Amino acid sequence: MRGPFLSSLDGYAGCVSRQRRPYDVGHRRLEKALAALYVGGWPAKLWRLFPGSTQVRLEQHELALGREAGRPSLRLAFGSDFHLGPTTHRATLERAFHLLREARPDVLLLGGDYVFLGATQSRVKELNDLVHSVRADLKIAVLGNHDFWARPARLEVALSAAGTVILVNEALRLPPPHDDVGIAGLDDPFTSLDQGDFESRQHAVDEALEKISDAQVRIAVCHSPDGLLWVRGRGIHLLLCGHTHGGHIALPGHRPIFVPSPMGKVYPWGRHEVDGTTLFVSRGVGGSLVPFRTWAPPDVAVFDVR
């Protein structure tokens, strides 16, 4: 039996399923080959045999942003790059979402790349179950490059059914007692069709940021740290990103070999202070092309805004 959730996937046309920059021919062929090669999810099962392979770090941070006296602390939980698919073992995902649940956040923020090698019905159902398991007053998500290359409308259904608001160059104010906080969700920099038109993309981001310009605390979420180019110098206090995987395959000392992001090469993982903005780049949770990581451990993050 399909049930109402899976039935709702048929024919759904989501608000963010617009035309996107596609994979090049070589990358499409690679993913088709990997989809055939990885049938049954054996790469994740093999990686699961290595000790500690499914452990996920909890990155805990505090931010003192001068909120009004009497305002309660705001707890944000952030997770990104779950990559449900044949290279991410269920145990890794369960550990990540256990940490997110245990954090008891006021707001759950999700940074995109929810699937790898397609948004199949089983994967979007699993995504729905995992996100639904986290209790939070508000859940906000952006989409990543792998989501737009899959079936983003299906992912919208899964996230929305789990109580999540999807923001693509949109923003909102939190309800009381945190109504002094505004959160903007940015488009994915890599898959935007107008890659060469920076001014057009900047205008869309500026319109979103204008909606929270009077908020005392302004937070932005973007799949990639390349979103820093859009918000730099525009009054954002905290920018949360993923995409880089910390290099995924890194050298001792957490030194990435390759990062598919211009800003990610500068800020591959961790917390950084950049022109008045606290930038946090998560290493993410799951695997994409390969199931294993070296010196780039998966993580989720918690921020207490005081």
Query: Which residue from 125, 100, 122 is spatially nearest to 111, judged by alpha carbons?
Result: 100
**CATH code, domain carrying 180:** 3.60.21.10
| Single-letter code of the amino acid located at 264 | G
Q: How many domains does the chain have?
A: 1
Q: What is the pLDDT of residue 1?
A: 33
Q: What is the pLDDT of residue 16?
A: 52
Answer yes or no: is 5 within a domain.
Answer: no
Answer yes or no: is 6 within a domain.
Answer: no
- pLDDT-based confidence at 176, cuts 50/70/90? very high
Q: How far apart are the first and last CA of the chain?
A: 47
DSSP string computed for 86-134:
TTS-HHHHHHHHHHHHHH--SEEEE-S--BSS---HHHHHHHHHHHHTS
Name the residue with tokens 């995902």. Answer: 93
- pLDDT-based confidence at 193, cuts 50/70/90? low
d(Cα 61, Cα 252) in Å, to the nearest integer? 24
Residue 111 has pLDDT above 50, yes or no: yes
Contact between residue 127 and residue 114 where contact means Cβ atoms under 8 Å apart: yes
Q: What is the pLDDT of residue 198?
A: 64
Contact between residue 76 and residue 278 where contact means Cβ atoms under 8 Å apart: no
Q: What is the pLDDT of residue 17?
A: 45
Is the alpha carbon torsion for 58, 63, 69, 74 positive or negative? negative
Domain with 294, as residue range(s), is 24-305
- pLDDT-based confidence at 276, cuts 50/70/90? very high
Q: What is the pLDDT of residue 19?
A: 54
Q: What is the CA radius of gyration of the chain?
A: 18
Answer yes or no: is 2 within a domain.
Answer: no
Beta-bridge partners for 182: 173, 218
Answer yes or no: is 57 within a domain.
Answer: yes
d(Cα 39, Cα 44) in Å, to the nearest integer? 11
Contact between residue 268 and residue 281 where contact means Cβ atoms under 8 Å apart: yes
Answer yes or no: is 19 within a domain.
Answer: no
HSE-CB for 16 with a 13 A CA cutoff: 30
Q: What is the 3-state secondary structure (H, E, C) of 29-59?
A: HHHHHHHHHCCCCHHHHHHCCCCCCCCCEEE
- pLDDT-based confidence at 303, cuts 50/70/90? very high
Q: What is the pLDDT of residue 67?
A: 86
More confident residue, 286 or 202: 286
Task: Provide the pairing of β-strand 299-305 with 277-281.
Answer: unpaired
Query: Which residue from 138, 131, 98, 134 is spatially nearest to 114, judged by alpha carbons?
Result: 131
- pLDDT-based confidence at 3, cuts 50/70/90? low
Residue 208 has pLDDT above 70, yes or no: yes
The tokens for 196 are 């060469």
Query: Which residue from 39, 42, 225, 25 is spatially nearest to 142, judged by alpha carbons?
Result: 225
pTM: 0.92
More confident residue, 6 or 94: 94
In tens, the pLDDT along 290-301 reads 999 999 999 999
Beta-bridge partners for 219: 183, 238
Q: What is the pLDDT of residue 298?
A: 98
Residue 196 has pLDDT above 60, yes or no: no
Answer yes or no: is 169 within a domain.
Answer: yes
Q: What is the pLDDT of residue 286?
A: 98
Q: Mean of the per-residue pLDDT values for the chain?
A: 91
Answer yes or no: is 3 within a domain.
Answer: no
Contact between residue 251 and residue 243 where contact means Cβ atoms under 8 Å apart: no
Contact between residue 243 and residue 228 where contact means Cβ atoms under 8 Å apart: no
More confident residue, 195 or 30: 30
Q: Which of 93-107, 150-164, 180-194 has the lowest mean pLDDT?
A: 180-194
Answer yes or no: is 130 within a domain.
Answer: yes
Residue 70 has pLDDT above 90, yes or no: no
